[in-house]
Structure 1
């Protein structure tokens, strides 16, 4: 993976703390990145030479699973190398269009391409800091409720910062792909 989306110092400033445990902060930032990647089902970071095996769907378009697409090195259909501009075209949103008809049903379509962001978008970084910040300041046990008589303990995962809020999901929605691409 690429370098972290945020630094412990940026997390310290975000939380307005005088000092911060750099190791714990780095761990919380990495966990927040994992949470965001999982929610978006996207790598986000720039990847060069990614190979993906797709299957023809009988339609003129196939969606590549990662975006933005920055470059396509090759597209092969059932082992035959296709020519960009003649056989296919692709846009930055990952839409691979067959120019001569449709992608044959159940035929292997192998693509080698580059995708992702050289610099993580500011809103993604901001959400990362928010999620990491919640995880840093809240205890990992996330005790939501506790009773003394007959002992009852309730834990709440939302309180650890491990989940994205609905607001954060809306902020990140433009960086996610729909189910059709998977």
Structure 2
């Protein structure tokens, strides 16, 4: 498992607190990481030898689902191994290009590749600290509406700090993939 993107002590410094409960801070950081991964639809952390089966699309390029791509160990088209530099090439943005013709329609393309960041990028770490900080400052009991007769309570996820702001989504945009890769 990859190391957390931020430490409880970094969260304490971000919040300008003298002390912090490290278990609760670690939980807030982990929740922020899950929120960011869900927004990006990316793992972000470095993963070695990830196996994925894509479907040929009749075009010369296929997008791998995770980025950045750091290495491609193997590519097989309908079980037939292909050779890098002769049959295909790839780039860090996850574009797998067929050098001879196109990827055949509806054919399985099996890829084993490495992807992700050894250390979370600074912008990702900053957003993680901001989301964890908001959820620390606004516990998940944020109530947006409450009634007395027959007791009704509505919780507001935006007020708990568990959702990303528009600014944070823009900060994370360079690390997200387009819909075509999913």
**Structure-1-length-normalised TM-score:** 0.96
Partner Cα distance (1:90, 1:119) in 2:
22
Unaligned runs of 5+ in 2: none
Map 1:23-172; keep pairs closer than 5 Å.
Answer: 23-147=23-147, 152-172=152-172
Unaligned runs of 5+ in 1: none
2:13 is paired with a residue whose SS is helix
Partner Cα distance (1:85, 1:129) in 2:
41
More displaced, 108-117 or 135-144? 135-144
Partner Cα distance (1:63, 1:119) in 2:
23
Partner Cα distance (1:148, 1:124) in 2:
42
Total equivalences in the alignment: 182
Query: C-alpha displacement at 1:153, in angstroms?
Result: 3.2
Query: C-alpha displacement at 1:148, in angstroms?
Result: 5.0
Partner Cα distance (2:81, 2:116) in 1:
24
Query: C-alpha displacement at 1:149, in angstroms?
Result: 6.8
2:51 is paired with a residue whose SS is strand
Query: C-alpha displacement at 1:73, in angstroms?
Result: 0.1
Query: C-alpha displacement at 1:47, in angstroms?
Result: 0.4
Partner Cα distance (1:124, 1:175) in 2:
8
Partner Cα distance (2:133, 2:31) in 1:
11
The alignment yields a C-alpha RMSD, in angstroms, of: 1.2
Partner Cα distance (1:152, 1:106) in 2:
51
1:118-169 Cα deviation digits (max 9, x unpaired): 1110010000000001111112111123355775533200111111111100
1:76-109 Cα deviation digits (max 9, x unpaired): 0000000000000000000000000000000000
Query: C-alpha displacement at 1:18, in angstroms?
Result: 1.1
2:22 corresponding residue in structure 1: 22
**Structure-2-length-normalised TM-score:** 0.96
Partner Cα distance (2:144, 2:19) in 1:
27
Partner Cα distance (1:46, 1:144) in 2:
39
Partner Cα distance (1:152, 1:118) in 2:
46
